[in-house]
Amino acid sequence: MQEIEFRAEGQDLLKILIDGVALLDLVREAELPYAREEQLERAKEFAPEPAPLLAGDYAYFGRSWTGWPSRHYLGEPAETAYNQEDDEIMLLGCTCGVSECWALLATIEVTETEVRWSGFRNNHRDWDVSATLGPFVFSRGQYERALRAGR
């Protein structure tokens, strides 16, 4: 099992760490091969500047709507994104400030003893990040304590 931390950061952000590593870093690493390929494919479109490298281009959410007592990270979405399936939750949102614009989605399954994150995907790209990202399984007790502590 992994350990999760929800860490209050900055004005209102709720940073997520899995086994001490920032979720954004894990996502960036998983998306990098797909983003580099896309960057090369779109080079002419952006010339003479390089095309953007979109790997891990997300932001953490505010504690005000995802921190405790919100049940967002317990599988009950506080907000939804474009192209989000019913069983998915936004884990990270867009850096533009409109969270649902560019989102990292995943399925969160909650049992009496565990919380499981799987099926990671971007709501606008068909990058198969689940091949290298997760699944992550947390003890429900540790998970809920971390969520309460992050407020």
Q: In what helix (H) or strand (E) does residue 14 lie, and over which residues does it extend?
A: strand 13-18
pLDDT at residue 68, rounded to an integer: 86
- Mean pLDDT value of segment 128-144: 95
pLDDT at residue 95, rounded to an integer: 85
Q: Model confidence over 25-46: pLDDT tens digits?
A: 999 999 999 999 989 999 999 9
pLDDT at residue 109, rounded to an integer: 97
pLDDT at residue 151, rounded to an integer: 66
Question: Is 82's pLDDT higher than 70?
Answer: yes
pLDDT at residue 36, rounded to an integer: 93
- Mean pLDDT value of segment 90-104: 84
**Which is more confidently placed, 1 or 68?**
1
Instruction: Return the percentage of the chain with pLDDT > 70, whole number.
Output: 98
| Amino acid residing at 53 | L
Instruction: Return the percentage of the chain with pLDDT > 90, whole number.
Output: 62
Predicted structure pTM score: 0.91
What is the per-residue burial (b if ≥16 Cβ within 10 Å, else e) of 55-85?
Answer: bbbbbbbbbeebbbebebbebebbebbeebe
Residues in Cβ contact with 45 at an 8 Å cutoff, skipping those fewer than 6 apart:
51
pLDDT at residue 99, rounded to an integer: 66
- Distance (Å) of CA 102 to CA 1, 90, 113, 148: 29, 10, 31, 27
Domain spans in the chain, listed from the N-terminal domain onward: 4-149
**Which is more confidently placed, 101 or 35?**
35
User: In this structure, is the dihedral angle defined by the CA atoms of residues 21, 88, 55 and 38, taken in order, positive or negative?
Assistant: positive
